[in-house]
Amino acid sequence: MLCSLSEWQEDSAEDIFEKEILDVCKLETYMKLWQLVAAATCLNVRIMSVYPPKRQSCGRFLDRVIEPLPAVQQSNSNSKCTIIILWASTRDDMSEEYWVANHVEPIIQLSEPIDIVDAE
């Protein structure tokens, strides 16, 4: 599950990290917050993770800005960039109460507004 932290509440952070890393190596598994931190750190960018306002508690973990780890931040131009991702789902068989994201989509920020021109 995407946010099944309750089963690991008594484990240490290191144990949770190890379990999540081993789990994400399998096909058809869900990405968790550790992988977003790793991506932000490797790319040396902020990641704004946007989780739709559903009835799940996952949103409070995944609707946030994720910074690169300070120990490996580099002072290059990327460190000022923010990548925005939106959690989404292609499934249409879920109720709002049990909605689960199955992928992320990039959100592109425009530096200038674009005028939409109707062709007619």
Domain ranges, residue 79: 5-107
Task: Look at the chain and report how many structural domains it folds into.
Answer: 1
Q: Is residue 17 part of a domain?
A: yes
Q: Is residue 119 part of a domain?
A: no
Per-residue confidence (pLDDT) for residue 87, from 0 to 100: 87
Torsion angle (degrees, nearest 10) of CA 65, 66, 72, 78: -50
Residue-wise pLDDT tens digits, 24-74: 777 777 777 778 888 888 888 899 988 887 766 666 677 889 888 876 656
Q: Is residue 63 part of a domain?
A: yes
Residue 118 in domain: no
The values of phi and psi at residue 41, to 5°, are -70, -45
118 versus 5: the higher-pLDDT residue is: 118
Domain annotation covers residue 21: yes
Q: Is residue 77 one of the residues assigned to a domain?
A: yes
Q: Which ranges of 44-82 does DSSP label H, i.e. alpha helix?
A: 58-62
Which residue is associated with the tokens 């096909």? 27
Residue 57 lies in a domain: yes
Q: Higher pLDDT residue, 78 or 117?
A: 117
